Amino acid sequence: MPYCVNCGVQLNDAAKECPLCQTEVLLPRSAQPLSTNPPTNLKKEMLDQDFDRGLWIKLITITLLTPAIISILLNWIIKPNIEWSLFVSAGMIFVWIWSISVFFFKKNRFIKWLPIAWVSLLGFLFVLENITRSFGWFFTIGVPITTSLFIIVSIQALLIKKRWIRELQIPASIFFGIGLFCFSINGAISFYKYQVVRLNWSLIVMITCVAFALIGLVLQRRPWIVEKIKHWFMI
């Protein structure tokens, strides 16, 4: 019977490595496996089978389509000269794209969903601008704010997903992202109003956010405090 030279435990005749330390078994006396089928032919049980994707897509579609159709019909019957039902319909289409697109991805849903959400939000704002006939704000306010939000959230999601940041670095990064987003709102609005980028209130938000982010980063370098916090909150 083979032994693990590292752990000292006995191993199964068919073992190729120690299950405890992964040390390779160099000279197993019997290379013959005990069973005819290797155990690796077992498959992993998938857990997300309870979720009926088709049913949810149908439910969401019916739920959003019904008010859109009703509002178009009412608009056509009651006051055909005012196009108020377009607001409802555009809103419903926007919500539909946001909710349905999640179901089409199996892995990394949030990261893959973000560009779709960004484009559909831009589309919705563009439609709004055209329905209300208040031209000018879409490209100066709508696009910069939406795009900056998309970029900031995408970077955050990627950093977390790839585990480039962890534990308290995550809230620190989120705080910093909030500060940057406020910059973009402040900058876009001031550019729309005064044709020049002026940052005022967003600087205060940024300073506060950076302070919180620094606390997070400092705490991260003191792991015993993180451990204590984790135990308190059972994370």
Site for other proteins, rule CB under 8 A = 1, 4, 7-12, 14-15, 18-21, 33-37, 39, 42-47, 49-50, 223-224, 227, 231-232, 234
Nearer to other proteins, 50 or 77 (CB): 50
Other residues' Cβ atoms within 10 Å of the Cβ of residue 147: 15
Is 161:111 a contact under the CB 8 Å cutoff? Answer: yes
Nearer to other proteins, 19 or 115 (CB): 19
Give me the least distance between CB of 51 and other proteins, in Å please.
9
Nearer to other proteins, 51 or 135 (CB): 51
Cα separation, 175 vs 130, whole angstroms: 35
Query: 67-88 in b/e burial notation, b at 16+ Cβ within 10 A?
Result: ebeebeeebeeeeeeeeebbeb
Give me the least distance between CB of 213 and other proteins, in Å please.
23
Nearer to other proteins, 40 or 200 (CB): 40
Is 87:131 a contact under the CB 8 Å cutoff? Answer: yes
Give me the least distance between CB of 11 and other proteins, in Å please.
6
Within 13 Å, how many C-alpha atoms sit on residue 181's CB side?
Answer: 17
Give me the least distance between CB of 103 and other proteins, in Å please.
17
